Amino acid sequence: MFRPAFTTAILVAAGLSAPAAAALPDPVRAMLDAAIASGSNQDVAAVAKIAKATNPEDVAEIDSIVADYNSKLAAQAAAALREKQEAGFFENWKGQGELGASRSTGNTRNLGLSGGLKLVKDAVKWRLNFQARADYERNNGKTTRDQLSATIEPNYKFNKRLYAYGLAQFERDRFQGFTARYTISGGLGYEVVKTKDLRLAVKAGPALRITDFATGESRSSLAGLVGIDFDWKISDNVKFSQDAGGTWASDAQGFTSAVAVFESGNTTLNTTSALDAKLIGALSARISYTIEHETNPPVGRAKTDTINRATLVYDF
């Protein structure tokens, strides 16, 4: 009659005396925490793989930690997506303001002031870019450079890499021979490389160019536009960028065929290389070099202008 109670007592005693499951060692947990804090999925996966290989008895706990990390990432991504979808037109804009000194060669050789503004709104399916720049110089009481440009470019994203673009650009530079030049273009773009630290994008499409020359003449022509954007985050504090665009336009009035565009006319090339270094907070220092080239400029104008700029940049 005492056997059931006796058996129960033995089982309870055995349970109490059984060793508890070993907890994940502190050094292993510390490595996982550090990998998660870095925000790198590759680091988390690599550390988890090594931890499971060296601590096979803790595989379940390691998998639980990684699963919790992945679920938090998914929740953050979903929240960011909802924010983009629900944001109004005046929300989620990012930008840069730039101001400093410049030195030019070519049609002018002087020191001057340079300023610029960039705005970007990035939504789920759309991206809107706006850019404006002004360069101004005076020498011996005379204005020697009064250059202004403004560009607006909406993008429609087909997927993570392929997009369609539209572009409207205004330029003024009477020292290169024109008081106004308008370019309207549309085509396709593709992000060839897109990582956390590196981006290479290309775009191309037909365009219409209208030029008002300083002589009073005006010309309209069919054109082709090609653009390349390259950004490289060398480190947390240093970034290199290369932006280039080429436009080929026919000298003939009105619309012409693509062959006529490329065989005769004027080729405009504008390329800028820049190196940014963070100073403090949102403030950076930038050194940039711009080449502006016209294969067939107005009579008396140099084909190539170069501009060196040293500016301060504020991100907002």
Taking 60 as the threshold, does the pLDDT of residue 9 lie above it? no
- What percentage of the chain reaches a pLDDT higher than 70? 82
Query: Among 208, 130, 136, 194, which Cα is nearest to 162's?
Result: 194
pLDDT tens per residue across span 120-156:
998 889 999 999 999 998 888 788 888 999 999 999 9
DSSP code at position 56: G
- pLDDT score recorded for residue 86: 57
Token pair 């009035």 in the structure block, residue: 253
Tokens of 296: 């067939």
**188 DSSP β-pair partners:** 164, 204
- pLDDT score recorded for residue 40: 83
Each as own residue / partner, the long-range contacts of residues 203-206 (CB below 8 Å, 24 or more positions apart, any chain) are 203/165, 203/227, 205/165, 206/258
Whether the CA torsion 179, 110, 303, 223 is positive or negative: it is negative
- What CATH architecture applies to the domain 93-315? Beta Barrel (2.40)
Strands in 234-301 per DSSP E: 238-249, 266-280, 283-294
* Contact of 270 with 290, CB cutoff 8 Å: yes
Taking 60 as the threshold, does the pLDDT of residue 258 lie above it? no
Taking 50 as the threshold, does the pLDDT of residue 295 lie above it? yes
Taking 50 as the threshold, does the pLDDT of residue 250 lie above it? no
- pLDDT score recorded for residue 301: 82
Taking 80 as the threshold, does the pLDDT of residue 109 lie above it? no
Domain range annotation of the chain: 3-86, 93-315
- pLDDT score recorded for residue 248: 45
pLDDT greater at residue 213 or residue 19: 213
Taking 80 as the threshold, does the pLDDT of residue 181 lie above it? yes
* Ranges 50-54, 103-107, 278-282, 305-309, most confident: 278-282
pLDDT greater at residue 92 or residue 195: 195
Find the helix packing angle between 59-86 and 41-54, rounded to 10°.
170
pLDDT tens per residue across span 222-249:
888 888 888 899 998 999 887 655 444 4
- pLDDT score recorded for residue 282: 94
Is the pTM value of this prediction over 0.75?
A: no
Query: Among 152, 198, 153, 146, which Cα is nearest to 173's?
Result: 146
Query: Among 209, 200, 208, 262, which Cα is nearest to 227's?
Result: 200
- How would you write 10-34 as a 3-class SS string? HHHHHHHHCCCCCCCCHHHHHHHHH
- Helix, strand, or coil here: 66? helix
pLDDT tens per residue across span 67-98:
888 888 878 777 766 666 656 666 788 999 99
DSSP code at position 264: S
* Contact of 32 with 62, CB cutoff 8 Å: yes
- pLDDT score recorded for residue 312: 96
Average pLDDT of every residue of the chain: 81
- Which residues in 246-282 are b (16+ Cβ under 10 Å) and which e? bbbbbebeeebeeeebeeebbebbbebebebebeeee
